[in-house]
Amino acid sequence: MPVITYREALRAAMSEEIERDPNVVLMGEEVAQFNGAYKVSEGMLAKYGPKRIVDTPISEAAFIGMGVGAAMLGVRPVMELMFFSFYSVAFDQIFNNAANLRYMSGGLVNCPIVIRGPANGGTNVGATHSHTPESIAAYHPGIKVVVPSTAYDAKGLMKSAIRDNDPVLFMENTLLYGESGEVPDGEYLVPLGSAKVMREGADLSIIGHGRAIQLALKSADLLKEKHNISAEVVDLRSIRPLDEETILASVRKTNRALYVEESKPFCSVGAMVAAIISDKAFDHLDAPVKRLTSIDSPAIYSMPLEKLQLPSVDRICQAALETLK
């Protein structure tokens, strides 16, 4: 199977959808002439022209809101936020308009928009540029939230997101853009709302999303090697809709769960998953559900300290061992 990067997988997904559906448009700051701040859209302007690949001014509230309005009339905008952190500039458009339109119109209005961009820390860009708002976004009924951790999922989920008739917030990761993985040529879809067991195990379930999954897989290797612990790793891939069944099946098998994510702990995705597990699989648990997040403060700039603040293989292994005590 061909091996391509996460970045190329996203580009392939958007390109295929642009070719398939004349209503799909990619828009955002520097996506066209500059080829994307992180080069996700490289070459797309040359290939698809300025009607389909559009540079916007630095006006997130206006262009995201414009995308919501255009979506009502059947355009399918894919809106790039250079950093997902800038979603807060467009907060009202996303969470008051996009999220509520369908409901407030009694189902008369649809909003098929994708809002995408990198949402991660770990590159020392400081507190304003390092937000991980998965749980904030998923809190809002009407909004869907997707966080791919591999090139394969990046492509399959992006294609599904573009075809989805609801607003989808698609959170990528600058540290994953260059990571390669096997991606088949041509058409395939990964449905929203299906988690994936990345590695089978028997002693505990490490559940998570985003880049934390890559760390969890490395941690699972180490746990096996050093402690003969067999960890199952489950990647949610999609936060809302959420694949409760895959999570619960894994916990029923291993009887222990650790949720790993890069967000802050308060009301995080892990907090939600822990609540679901204790609600629906309480009798299967041999230990409380454990959560590992970033240390609870705004993102620190200082290089070695940001490493400490974020989840790491060390911290994951330690948390896993505590869960198994």
Partner 1 sequence: MTKKTTPAKKTQVAGYNARQAPINARLGHDELIALYRDMVRIRRFEERCLRSYQQGKIGGFLHLYIGQESIAVGCVSVMGQHDHIITAYRDHGHALAVGMGMNEMMAENYGKYTGCSKGKGGSMHYFDPTRNFWGGHGIVGGQIPLGVGLAYALKYKGRKGAALAFMGDGAVNQGAVHESYNLAALWSLPVLFVIENNGYSMGTSQDRSSAGPSLAERAEGYGMNWDIIENGHDVLEVRDRVAAALKLAHEQSLPSVLEIRTYRYRGHSVADPDTTYRDKKEIEDYKATKDPLMFCQNQLLAEKVLTQEIIAKIEESARAEAETSAQFAEASPFPTADDIQKDVYWEADNPADRKSQGALFFS
* Residues within the interface to ligand TPP (CB under 6 A): 29, 58, 60, 82, 86, 89
* DSSP state, residue 250: H
* DSSP state, residue 186: S
- Of 4, 2, 9, the closest CA to residue 153 belongs to 9
Angstrom distance (rounded) from CA 85 to CA 130: 6
Binding residue (CB under 8 A) for partner 1 from 265, 278, 280, 284? 265
Residue 147's identity, in one-letter code, is V
Residue 58 or 127 with smaller CB distance to ligand TPP: 58
| Assigned token pair, 242 | 């959420």
Binding residue (CB under 8 A) for partner 1 from 23, 100, 110, 124? 124
The neighbouring-strand residues paired with 27 are 54, 79
Residue 266 or 283 with smaller CB distance to partner 1: 266
Encoded one letter per residue, x for contact with partner 1 by CB under 8 A and - for no contact, window 278-317 reads -------------x-x-xxxx-xxxxxxx-xx--------
| Assigned token pair, 316 | 């994951």
128 binds partner 1 (CB under 8 A): yes
66 binds partner 1 (CB under 8 A): no
Q: Reduced to 3 states, what is the DSSP secondary structure of residue 172?
A: strand
Residue 81 or 234 with smaller CB distance to partner 1: 81
Residue nearest to ligand TPP (CB): 86
Residue 17 or 60 with smaller CB distance to ligand TPP: 60
The neighbouring-strand residues paired with 115 are 79, 169
Catalytic residues: 60, 129
Minimum CB distance to ligand TPP, residue 133 (Å): 14
| Assigned token pair, 121 | 């820390």
HEC profile for 139-158?
A: CCCCCEEECCCCHHHHHHHH
| Assigned token pair, 236 | 């949610």
49 binds partner 1 (CB under 8 A): no
| Assigned token pair, 134 | 């998965």
249 binds partner 1 (CB under 8 A): no
| Binding window for partner 1 (CB under 8 A); candidates: 7-15, 122-130, 183-191, 201-209 | 122-130
Q: Residue written as tokens 């995080």?
A: 268
Binding residue (CB under 8 A) for partner 1 from 2, 3, 19, 33? 33
Which backbone phi and psi does 37 adopt, to 5 degrees? -60, -35
Residue 29 or 203 with smaller CB distance to ligand TPP: 29
Q: Which helix (H) or strand (E) holds 220?
A: helix 212-227
Residues lying near partner 1 in the complex (CB under 8 A) are found at: 29-30, 33-35, 37, 50, 54-55, 57-62, 85-86, 89, 123-129, 264-266, 291, 293, 295-298, 300-306, 308-309
